[in-house]
Chain A
Amino acid sequence: MGIGRSVFSQDELDLYQELTNLNAAEINNAYKKFKNIDPLSGFQSNKKGRIAFTAVADNVAELKLNPFRYRICMLFCSEPNGLMDFDDFLDMVSVFHDKCPKERKVRWAFRLYDFNDDHVIDYDDLSTFLDLVTDYGIESDLKSEVIQRVIEEVDYDGDQSISHEEFERILYFNAEFYEYILTRLIFECCE
């Protein structure tokens, strides 16, 4: 944990601290975590090395059991080839950090649940959501019933989908949602 034997120079650490919500010890821990994901990857020798996002999703303890792990990691992949480098990983950890502003997190949560990238959470997204959460164990009748009720509650403009405003409203103005959704995933390297 000591800052002394860090792989990063003080300048690099300062830079990372200025650009993420993590502090020095957390950055070092995150680095260790990222390094241990795939011992055979090029990352060992090269700090700019990249690891496939599926490997990250499957090997990080905090993500391993999360039904949305691939989606989460994909969101933070900065290259279209699906490889993550340490910077991307740090971005991800930073967003899930406690210090990340709320509206940011809500925005990320919206993007996370917008599985088909059409800027609204609609029936398909909610269906995917429920399938993933229950590991495809939910009956389709129940699913459609629940989705209908959810949309009924949240959607007030009648377009049968949850826009970002609507999503923000239920999340931002409601601590309980905020507490559960997305935001509580705090990586072990962080406080």
Chain B
Amino acid sequence: MDRHRESSHEQRQRQKMSRTGLSRAGMSESEFMARQRYLENSSTRAISDHSMAVASQPVIPQLLSSNEVHKYVKEQREIINNFRSQPWPMQMKMAALMMYKENVAVYAGQMNTLDTFKDNFSIATGAFRRRFRNIRSSLTIWNSIIKRIEGRFGSSVASFFNFLRWLCALNLIMSFIILAFLVLPQASSGHGLQVPAQIRENGSPLSFIVDGKGYLLEYSVLFHGFYDSGKNEPYVAPPHNPNPAIGTGYKLPLAYLGVIAAIFVVCILAILVRMVKKYKILQKASISEQYLFAWKVFASWDFTITSHETAVYKRLRLTTLLKETIVEADSNDRQTSWKLIVIRLAVHVVLFILLCASAYAIYLAVENIDYSTVSVNFVDALKLGLKGIWLIMRSFQVQAVIVTCNFVFPIMFQVAQLIEQHHPRTALKVMLARLFVLYITSLYVLIIALFTFNRTCENTTTVLTNATFIDSDENYCCWETVMGQELYKLSITHFFAELFSIAVVDIARWIAVKTYICPRISEKFGLAEFNLARNILKLVYGQALVWFGVLFCPLLPIINLLKYILLFYIRALVVSLFNKPPQTLFRVASTKTFYMALLLLNIFLCIFPISYAVIQEVPSTTCGPFRGLPSMSHAVTYEIDRWPVIIQTVVNYVNTPTIIIPLIGLLCIVISYFASLANALKEVNKDLRLQLHLELKAARDKIYRDAIKLKKQDTESEDLSSFSLIRRHEQLQQELNSELTQRFSKTSNTMFSYVRPFEQVQINDSFASGSSSSDSSRIRSDNYTDISTLPRIQASTDIENDELPVTVSTFLPPKNKETLKHHQSAEKERSQQDSEGSVNPQRRHYSAPTPQITVGFVNSIHGRPRSRSTPLWTSNQK
């Protein structure tokens, strides 16, 4: 519709349109009621969103104050947005979209400036969001690899790779923050910790890259010790600061702390966001316990499978799986014998003792680190022969102990599982818990031992030199760098251990199976399965190393990123070459949340040692950005001292227990409030569930009762068992619905008129009789003439039945002149009524459903066949 025409004839058109709308709304009042009733009763609740879309179309034109127009336009836009998930064929969606858009354009022209601006703004943001999503999706990598693996191994294995990809993205963000705000300023400042002359002369530049020694690595941005205050001078507090220039410019110590804090905040936020996203779809995972068989059956086919081999395997596996489930369900209440309980207890105790032993071994290894090998040159070490190799091995002793523990213990856990004979699900949980405890214990022991060494370092600075080829700087001892080196070494060793385990577990087993070294065993065990739990925990462990070490080795995220990218490719290759698809059905959704929960727990556990190091430990006096300060956190304290006095007093006041203790109390109260709220909501949820269940049951019961009553009255020998009655009822309701739709869409909605061009005339006639020379309908039909030439299916009027149009086309009623007449007269009546202006149609169709509709049902139950030519809705008019 043209804008200028609209302005000149605005009033007239409004009248006309409201009349059309009214007449349409009035026309379909009874249908609305029936539809509403149908929607309330029927099981097809999902369709209601569409019927809303249609319902709001004819009703709204009455509301024409500027506020309401804006509201209406907004509503319509919402409806248009929802078109994409409607179950109609594309052509129908297209036509509906055009129709709605045109309609909206008419009303959008009537809005005032502010509303127009708001409207345009929302459109622009929508377009921007779409473009942004397009760009983001084009930036996502590894999709095809993950998809290929998913096709062969199912969703559970793919979830590992998705997780790995997400961790890579996280590390990328961390690396970016560090590079931009820490490494770049330090490198551009041009100085840093200088290599002592003795080491430069005698030591090796790159001893053995993976151990982080050698002056080129040790005195580089890789480690904490290299960084300085940005001025190559100790950072001294302003009151005692002899050189005020130090406090100006880019303050690296502050930036250092800021970057660490930012990394943790970003990571926690990212984990939380992803967790919430996953949790949304998780909802109630525990409910699947009660649907044991339904779950096994309906989930029996993983829709992602695209590999022939896996498909066949899955098919064969399913029957055994179902048999197992039956046996399991029948023997569910089997008591565990006391013998087994004792065995399990014993296993727990033994494993606990072994874990303690491993922890002590790690502590011992850290305690005995031989710092005399500070810069063993790899070549020099080889020249020394056996002794040199021993020295290299000594420099990796801590990592060797940890990695060995991490490799051996899972095997022991698996053996333990064989003895314990847990239910597979419990077994998985126990395994995960044990692995987590193992990894966290080894990390914590390492960190605690390294902190303990810090003091030792100060005491033993003079006892360093023993080796013949080393002349170490006796005054130099930088505990931060040493810690960074240990974690750096561990991170890299962890990667090599992973490669080793791949070689041993997957490839060696593959070779053993394929070459039939021992045919019996290879038939029984076959190829290695991808161990999801263990691999996920390894990833979490690697990430925990980064969070522990980032304070001491700022480039650890970058190293981890490279490690994970490599690991991704290697794992993808190994999985597709040497592994077999997993045998058990994994609960993927809850597992995904579980990964995130593990990460979150890990990051919180990492915060404690980091904050301890920042607040409690004394920084080294000769290296690092915090040299000369009582603690790292003093960089912030001194910075605050330079601020205006008012802020200082405020900050100091906030720091005192007077504020902090009430604050903690308040936090506790808030937490307990939310905890109780969550509990209450859980209760409400449960109640609502029960209520829903009961109501549905009551509705069913009512139908039963009706059916039984009718059966008593009925004399004919029709099959009236309660089930067939319900079927019949539903069928009739469907017919009713389709007929109503037919009527409704013909008369009130021109949007599908193009489908049957030959009926166009009729529709226009019916409008013409209701409202003389309807402008809007004519314009619409003009606009749609080109679309009406499109070849299209006939039965597409069945828009809300959510059925295939093909199947519903049989419900098309014959065109009955009588009903049409009836229709027209009814429409006239309505329009007269409405012109009196007393009835609000929008309200009307929320009124109580008319009882007459059931007449049709009752009649037909009585066996009187209802002819198709007299539509049910006419019973309303009597």
Q: Interface code B80-95, partner A: CB below 8 Å = 1, 0 otherwise?
A: 1001110101110110
Query: Which of B1-9, B281-289, B420-428, B454-462 binds A?
Result: B281-289
- Confirm or deny: A150 has a beta carbon within 8 angstroms of a beta carbon on chain B: yes
Q: Interface code A135-161, partner B: CB below 8 Å = 1, 0 otherwise?
A: 101110010011001101110110110
**Given contact pairs A15-B94, A130-B297, A174 touches B284 in the complex (Cβ within 8 A):** yes
- In the complex, which of the residues A18, A21, A95, A119 contacts B730, with contact meaning CB atoms closer than 8 Å? A119
Q: Which of B90, B295, B319 has the most CB of A within 10 A?
A: B90
Q: Give bound CA distance, A139 to B323, whole Å.
A: 11
**What residues of B have a CB within 8 angstroms of the CB of A88 in the complex?**
89-90
**Chain A contacts with B in 1-39, Cβ cutoff 8 A:** 1, 3, 15, 17-21, 23-26
- Confirm or deny: B290 has a beta carbon within 8 angstroms of a beta carbon on chain A: yes
**What residues of A have a CB within 8 angstroms of the CB of B316 in the complex?**
137
Report the minimal beta-carbon distance from A15 to chain B, rounded to whole angstroms. Answer: 7
Report the minimal beta-carbon distance from A113 to chain B, rounded to whole angstroms. Answer: 8
- Confirm or deny: A175 has a beta carbon within 8 angstroms of a beta carbon on chain B: yes
**What residues of B have a CB within 8 angstroms of the CB of A1 in the complex?**
138
- Confirm or deny: A55 has a beta carbon within 8 angstroms of a beta carbon on chain B: no
- Confirm or deny: B326 has a beta carbon within 8 angstroms of a beta carbon on chain A: yes
- In the complex, which of the residues B294, B302, B326, B700 contacts A184, with contact meaning CB atoms closer than 8 Å? B302
Q: Which of A68, A137, A153 has the most CB of B within 10 A?
A: A153
**Chain B contacts with A in 463-517, Cβ cutoff 8 A:** none
- Confirm or deny: B643 has a beta carbon within 8 angstroms of a beta carbon on chain A: no
- In the complex, which of the residues A117, A145, A159 contacts B726, with contact meaning CB atoms closer than 8 Å? A159
Q: Are B303 and A66 in contact (CB under 8 A)?
A: yes
Please name the residue on chain B nearest to A24 by beta carbon.
B134
- In the complex, which of the residues A21, A107, A139 contacts B87, with contact meaning CB atoms closer than 8 Å? A107
**Chain A contacts with B in 78-106, Cβ cutoff 8 A:** 78-80, 87-88, 90-91, 94-95, 100-104, 106
Q: Are B326 and A146 in contact (CB under 8 A)?
A: yes
**What residues of A have a CB within 8 angstroms of the CB of B78 in the complex?**
none
Q: Are B315 and A133 in contact (CB under 8 A)?
A: yes
Please name the residue on chain A nearest to B730 by beta carbon.
A119
Report the minimal beta-carbon distance from B217 to chain A, rounded to whole angstroms. Answer: 40
**What residues of A have a CB within 8 angstroms of the CB of B700 in the complex?**
157
**Chain B contacts with A in 674-707, Cβ cutoff 8 A:** 689, 693, 696-697, 700
Q: Which of A61, A94, A100, A175 has the most CB of B within 10 A?
A: A175
Q: Interface code B698-740, partner A: CB below 8 Å = 1, 0 otherwise?
A: 0010000000000000000000000100110010001000000
Q: Are A174 and B285 in contact (CB under 8 A)?
A: yes
- Confirm or deny: B807 has a beta carbon within 8 angstroms of a beta carbon on chain A: yes
**What residues of B have a CB within 8 angstroms of the CB of A101 in the complex?**
85
Q: Are B97 and A65 in contact (CB under 8 A)?
A: no
Report the minimal beta-carbon distance from A171 to chain B, rounded to whole angstroms. Answer: 8
- In the complex, which of the residues B46, B302, B308 contacts A103, with contact meaning CB atoms closer than 8 Å? B46
Q: Are A153 and B290 in contact (CB under 8 A)?
A: yes
- Confirm or deny: A124 has a beta carbon within 8 angstroms of a beta carbon on chain B: no
- Confirm or deny: B582 has a beta carbon within 8 angstroms of a beta carbon on chain A: no
Q: Give bound CA distance, A113 to B297, whole Å.
A: 12
- Interface size of B by CB at 8 A reads 81
- In the complex, which of the residues B291, B323, B807 contacts A142, with contact meaning CB atoms closer than 8 Å? B323
Query: Which of B264-272, B534-542, B583-591, B867-875 binds A?
Result: B583-591
Query: Which of B169-177, B657-665, B744-752, B798-806 binds A?
Result: B798-806
Report the minimal beta-carbon distance from A10 to chain B, rounded to whole angstroms. Answer: 12
- Confirm or deny: A178 has a beta carbon within 8 angstroms of a beta carbon on chain B: yes
- Confirm or deny: B25 has a beta carbon within 8 angstroms of a beta carbon on chain A: no
Q: Give bound CA distance, A145 to B324, whole Å.
A: 13
- Confirm or deny: B133 has a beta carbon within 8 angstroms of a beta carbon on chain A: yes
Q: Are A175 and B84 in contact (CB under 8 A)?
A: no
Q: Are B297 and A129 in contact (CB under 8 A)?
A: yes
**Given contact pairs A117-B807, A137-B316, A138-B319, A176 touches B589 in the complex (Cβ within 8 A):** yes
- Confirm or deny: B43 has a beta carbon within 8 angstroms of a beta carbon on chain A: yes
**What residues of A have a CB within 8 angstroms of the CB of B304 in the complex?**
184-186
- Confirm or deny: B301 has a beta carbon within 8 angstroms of a beta carbon on chain A: yes
Q: Are B590 and A176 in contact (CB under 8 A)?
A: yes
Q: Are A65 and B306 in contact (CB under 8 A)?
A: yes
Report the minimal beta-carbon distance from B514 to chain A, rounded to whole angstroms. Answer: 25
- Confirm or deny: B335 has a beta carbon within 8 angstroms of a beta carbon on chain A: no
Report the minimal beta-carbon distance from B50 to chain A, rounded to whole angstroms. Answer: 11
- Confirm or deny: B809 has a beta carbon within 8 angstroms of a beta carbon on chain A: yes
- Confirm or deny: B130 has a beta carbon within 8 angstroms of a beta carbon on chain A: yes
Q: Are B287 and A156 in contact (CB under 8 A)?
A: no
Q: Are B130 and A170 in contact (CB under 8 A)?
A: no
**Given contact pairs A65-B307, A153-B293, A164 touches B43 in the complex (Cβ within 8 A):** yes
Q: Are A176 and B587 in contact (CB under 8 A)?
A: yes
Report the minimal beta-carbon distance from A90 to chain B, rounded to whole angstroms. Answer: 6
Query: Which of B140-148, B199-207, B226-234, B559-567 binds A?
Result: B140-148
- Confirm or deny: A134 has a beta carbon within 8 angstroms of a beta carbon on chain B: yes
- Confirm or deny: A77 has a beta carbon within 8 angstroms of a beta carbon on chain B: yes
Q: Are A182 and B303 in contact (CB under 8 A)?
A: yes
**Chain B contacts with A in 542-600, Cβ cutoff 8 A:** 585, 587-590
Q: Give bound CA distance, A30 to B693, whole Å.
A: 42
**Chain B contacts with A in 742-774, Cβ cutoff 8 A:** none
Report the minimal beta-carbon distance from A53 to chain B, rounded to whole angstroms. Answer: 12
**Given contact pairs A176-B299, A180-B588, A23 touches B133 in the complex (Cβ within 8 A):** yes
- In the complex, which of the residues B93, B285, B311, B585 contacts A65, with contact meaning CB atoms closer than 8 Å? B311
- Confirm or deny: B612 has a beta carbon within 8 angstroms of a beta carbon on chain A: no
**What residues of B have a CB within 8 angstroms of the CB of A108 in the complex?**
87
Q: Give bound CA distance, A107 to B809, whole Å.
A: 20
**What residues of B have a CB within 8 angstroms of the CB of A134 in the complex?**
315, 318-319
- Confirm or deny: B137 has a beta carbon within 8 angstroms of a beta carbon on chain A: yes
Please name the residue on chain A nearest to B805 by beta carbon.
A78
**What residues of A have a CB within 8 angstroms of the CB of B130 in the complex?**
17, 23
Q: Interface code B317-329, partner A: CB below 8 Å = 1, 0 otherwise?
A: 0110011001001
- Confirm or deny: B99 has a beta carbon within 8 angstroms of a beta carbon on chain A: no
**Chain B contacts with A in 40-95, Cβ cutoff 8 A:** 43-44, 46, 80, 83-85, 87, 89-91, 93-94
Q: Are A18 and B294 in contact (CB under 8 A)?
A: no
Q: Are B793 and A78 in contact (CB under 8 A)?
A: yes
**Chain A contacts with B in 34-58, Cβ cutoff 8 A:** none
- In the complex, which of the residues B44, B93, B288, B804 contacts A164, with contact meaning CB atoms closer than 8 Å? B44
Q: Give bound CA distance, A43 to B330, whole Å.
A: 55
**Given contact pairs A146-B297, A153-B292, A19 touches B94 in the complex (Cβ within 8 A):** yes
Q: Are B315 and A174 in contact (CB under 8 A)?
A: no
Q: Are A25 and B326 in contact (CB under 8 A)?
A: no
Q: Are A142 and B283 in contact (CB under 8 A)?
A: no
**Given contact pairs A137-B315, A146-B293, A191-B137, A181 touches B323 in the complex (Cβ within 8 A):** no
**Given contact pairs A103-B46, A142-B319, A178-B281, A78 touches B94 in the complex (Cβ within 8 A):** no
Q: Are B298 and A79 in contact (CB under 8 A)?
A: no
Report the minimal beta-carbon distance from B84 to chain A, rounded to whole angstroms. Answer: 5
Q: Give bound CA distance, A186 to B147, whole Å.
A: 9
Q: Give bound CA distance, A64 to B304, whole Å.
A: 11
Q: Are B303 and A173 in contact (CB under 8 A)?
A: no
Q: Give bound CA distance, A118 to B413, whole Å.
A: 51
Q: Are B291 and A154 in contact (CB under 8 A)?
A: yes
Q: Which of A19, A142, A157, A185 has the most CB of B within 10 A?
A: A19
**Given contact pairs A78-B91, A88-B89, A108-B87, A149 touches B140 in the complex (Cβ within 8 A):** no
Q: List 6 A-B contacts (CB under 8 A).
A: A18-B83, A66-B305, A79-B806, A88-B90, A157-B697, A177-B294
Closest 10 CB pairs of A and B: A87-B90, A185-B303, A175-B589, A180-B299, A78-B89, A65-B311, A149-B293, A179-B589, A80-B806, A175-B282
Known: A68-B301, A95-B87, A175-B589; 9 extra A-B contacts, CB below 8 A, are A23-B133, A26-B137, A94-B85, A133-B301, A134-B315, A146-B297, A146-B326, A171-B298, A184-B155
Binding site for B on A (CB under 8 A): 1, 3, 15, 17-21, 23-26, 61-62, 64-68, 75, 77-80, 87-88, 90-91, 94-95, 100-104, 106-108, 113, 117-119, 126, 129-130, 133-135, 137-139, 142, 145-146, 149-150, 152-154, 156-157, 159-160, 163-165, 168, 170-171, 173-186, 188, 191
